[in-house]
Amino acid sequence: MNLAIQAVWAIGLILAAFAISSWQRLGLEGSLILAAGRAILQLSVVGYVLAVVFAPPQSPFLILFVIGVLLLISAIVTRNRISQKLPILPWLIGSFLITTIVTVVYVQLIVVQPQTWYEPRFLIPLGAIVLSQAINTATISGERLFTALNSNVLEIETHLSLGASPKQAIAQYRKDAVRAGVLPVINAMSIVGLATLPELLSGQLLGGADPISAIALQIVVLFMVAFSTILVTLLVTYGISQQFFNSQAQLIRW
């Protein structure tokens, strides 16, 4: 069956979800339809954009532009989820940029080794995976740290009055925030293949890929995500912690 026709038939699942929500009076009908409509529109636009990017001759500038747009949107979404009060957008952009470059360059040059470094079928998906995971982990760790610092002002100021540096005064809060962002990835790695099959692996199998090759690629992606998660949470939590102290090492309340 044609893939487009399959996608149309899949709309029946959303209609079924709509019917269940209406039947149980959950009040989710509008949200379901809106989310489904946005997903169709957004993915359709992305599909046409990628068709242009993937078409020969492939331009490295266009490919990097696409990744740059993804990076900017990811940083804005993360900032909005953590707090719009903190002026951390430039730091988030820098953190995401560093994490994406370090991770993707290593995977591209050492692991995948494509014929050209800007080959879009590798560069764009790898960058998108890193940024997608960065949104989730940076949001979790950033929100956790932001809440902890605002909720423990007295304790932090006590440490400062006793001679602790800002870094020492919030060290435990930052450590807890980093762990909160990284632990879901570690837990997912621990049960993969036993209780779950990752979406990437399932998608490859549905597409007819060889299971062993699909597994090998999934392992690469898992380790890539683990590294990028730790790196981005460290960078983001450091940037947030810097916003809570002035040049005299005094705590700022947000």
**Whether 87 and 102 share a structural domain:** yes
Q: In the 8-state DSSP scheme, what is residue 251?
A: B
155 within a domain of the structure (yes/no): yes
Domain end residue (candidates: 22, 39, 55): 55
DSSP 77-142: HHHHHH-SSS--HHHHHHHHHHHHHHHHHHIIIIII--SSTT-HHHHHHHHHHHHHHHHHHHHHHH
Do 46 and 162 share a domain, yes or no? no
Q: What is the mean pLDDT of residues 122-132?
A: 93
254 within a domain of the structure (yes/no): no
Task: Tell me the longest C-alpha to C-alpha distance in the chain.
Answer: 71
Q: How confident is the model at residue 142 (pLDDT cuts 50, 70, 90)?
A: very high
pTM: 0.87
Q: Are residues 98 and 124 in the same domain?
A: yes
Q: Is 17 found in the same domain as 106?
A: no
Residue 160 belongs to a domain: yes
- Asked whether residue 238 is domain-assigned, the answer is yes
Q: Which of 55, 77, 99 is the last residue of a domain?
A: 55
Same domain, 176 and 236: yes
In angstroms, the Cα distances linking 6 to 1, 9, 40, 46, 254 are 7, 5, 13, 19, 50
Q: Would the pLDDT of 32 be above 90?
A: yes
Answer yes or no: is 249 within a domain.
Answer: no
37 and 62 within one domain: no
Owning domain of residue 31: 1-55
pLDDT digits over 59-83, tens only?
A: 899 999 999 999 999 999 999 999 8
| Structural domain includes residue 74 | yes
Same-domain pairing of 90 and 38: no
Compute the distance between CA of residue 137 and CA of residue 170 in angstroms, rounded to an integer: 19
Domain shared by 6 and 113, yes or no: no
Give 165-215 pLDDT, tens digit per residue. Answer: 999 999 999 999 999 999 999 998 888 877 777 777 888 887 788 888 888
DSSP 170: T
Count the domains in the chain: 2
Tell me if 14 is assigned to some domain.
yes
Q: Count CB neighbours of 203 within 10 A.
A: 12
Same domain, 39 and 129: no
Q: Nearest CA to 74 among 167, 152, 7, 137? A: 137
pLDDT tens digits, residue range 207-252? 788 888 888 888 999 999 999 999 999 999 999 999 999 988 888 8
Q: Is residue 253 part of a domain?
A: no
Q: Residue 81 is encoded by which pair of tokens?
A: 């989820």
How far, in Å, are 67, 99, 240 from residue 132 at the CA level? 12, 12, 20
Residues 40 and 70 in one domain: no
Q: Do 31 and 78 share a structural domain?
A: no
Residues 119 and 237 in one domain: yes
